[in-house]
Amino acid sequence: MANTFAYAETRAGELRRVALEAVTAARQLADATGGGEVHALIIGAPGIAAKAEQLGKYGADVVTVVEDPALDMYSPEVVAATAAQIAGVGGQRAAVFSASAQGKDLAPRVAAKLGVSMIADATSLQASGDSIVATHPVNTGKVVATVSLTGSPALVTIRPGAIPPQESNRTARVENAKPAIDPASARVVPKELIQGNTTQLDLGEAPVVVSGGRGLKVPENFSLLEDLAAAFGNAAVGATRAVTDEGWRPHGDQIGQTGRLVSPDLYVAVGISGAIQHLAGMRTSRTIVAINKDREAPIFKIADYGVVGDALEIVPVLTEAVKEAKKE
């Protein structure tokens, strides 16, 4: 029985949620094709082995742990060589990575090393005969492609949030391995990891996203959105490309085709006109609220609830109302 590989992404010694998504997706593929083991790989500085147990909980049968003091940061060449070595043995059926910033860098390297093609940014995934079939949004999300891949392993990255982590309560066997190449020999040398506000929820993981555009007029007015996000308690604050290009907000907060793709339960678009490139990053949100002065703004066409008016007047009132609603 062929096995399925999953790469468990970490950052600064912690498992990322996308690691659990990759293991879950691998488990689902394995189960749908009559079983076989899920082999997860986790790489990091000494101590990362403590995270192996959690991967078992989400469906890994075997967790290969690679610990090395030089691997406290993501080292692309070392991780790619190690993942290729482990995903490439034993005729694994599929190898699942996340289409996160790290996964998008890593997976194509692994694929080229193994000489296999890959599916990128899958929003759904299934086995079909000898092929892996997936959906993958193209043309800024305005078209959805169904793609079919053959190869061993069939390598796939899955869009963060598309396949929610699901527990399956296994106890994984832990195996230790060494990096496939000496970390000191890496030509691309990791120098620094800059962590944003780690107490704030990640945009890709927050159930509520409050997002602002140029309609907020000046960067200081983003504090109104911070207050609204705090009132929700489970929200992250995003921005449009116009705003991040102006330097009002960090580049990493940009929601849109060329930035983060988010799909929260609730998306609150404040002072956002709804340019195509922005809509591509949030149109799959479950519920969309738009607050904008311009009744003709395209954002209203996709919003479930639109409020026309000055965001600077409306948002503080909404913040108080949300606080009240949360109290009840």
29-88 residues in contact with other proteins (CB under 8 A) are: 73-74, 76-77, 80
**Cβ-contact 60, 168 below 8 angstroms:** no
326 binds other proteins (CB under 8 A): yes
Closest separation between CB of residue 22 and other proteins, Å? 15
With respect to other proteins, which residue has the nearer C-beta, 41 or 311? 311
With respect to other proteins, which residue has the nearer C-beta, 47 or 309? 309
Closest separation between CB of residue 296 and other proteins, Å? 11
Window 194-233: residues binding other proteins (CB under 8 A): 194-198, 200, 202-204, 207-208, 232
Contacts of 96 by beta carbon, 8 Å cutoff, 6+ apart: 4, 5, 6, 7, 22, 23, 25, 26, 29, 125, 156, 157, 158
Closest separation between CB of residue 131 and other proteins, Å? 9
CA-based max dimension of the chain = 62
100 binds other proteins (CB under 8 A): yes
**Cβ-contact 130, 70 below 8 angstroms:** no
Window 229-258: residues binding other proteins (CB under 8 A): 232, 244-245, 251-252, 257-258
Closest separation between CB of residue 108 and other proteins, Å? 4
With respect to other proteins, which residue has the nearer C-beta, 169 or 192? 192
CA distance 249 to 207: 21
Q: Which of 32, 35, 47, 150 binds other proteins (CB under 8 A)?
A: 150
CA distance 147 to 287: 28
Scored b (16 or more CB within 10 A) or e, 202-222 reads: bbbebebbbbbbebbeeeebb
Closest separation between CB of residue 187 and other proteins, Å? 4
Q: Which of 20, 83, 149, 216 binds other proteins (CB under 8 A)?
A: 149
**Cβ-contact 144, 136 below 8 angstroms:** yes
Q: Which of 57, 104, 173, 214 binds other proteins (CB under 8 A)?
A: 104
Give, rounded to a whole angstrom, the gap between the first and last alpha carbons of the chain. Answer: 54
Name the nearest CA neighbour of 42 among 91, 5, 92, 2: 5
Closest separation between CB of residue 176 and other proteins, Å? 26
Window 286-325: residues binding other proteins (CB under 8 A): 286-289, 295, 300-310, 313-314, 317-318, 321-322, 325
Name the nearest CA neighbour of 38 among 86, 83, 80, 6: 6
Window 108-137: residues binding other proteins (CB under 8 A): 108-109, 111-113, 115-121, 133, 136-137
CA distance 43 to 7: 9
Closest separation between CB of residue 162 and other proteins, Å? 14
Closest separation between CB of residue 272 and other proteins, Å? 14
Name the nearest CA neighbour of 267 among 281, 253, 277: 281
Q: Which of 191, 218, 220, 327 binds other proteins (CB under 8 A)?
A: 191
* Binding-residue total with other proteins (CB under 8 A): 97
184 burial (CB, 10 Å; 0-12 / 13-18 / 19+) is exposed
188 binds other proteins (CB under 8 A): yes
Peptide bond into 179 cis (omega under 30): no
Options 46-54, 106-114, 172-180, 209-217: segment touching other proteins (CB under 8 A): 106-114
Angle between helices 76-87 and 101-114 (to 10 degrees): 50
Closest separation between CB of residue 4 and other proteins, Å? 18
Q: Which of 13, 32, 145, 171 binds other proteins (CB under 8 A)?
A: 145
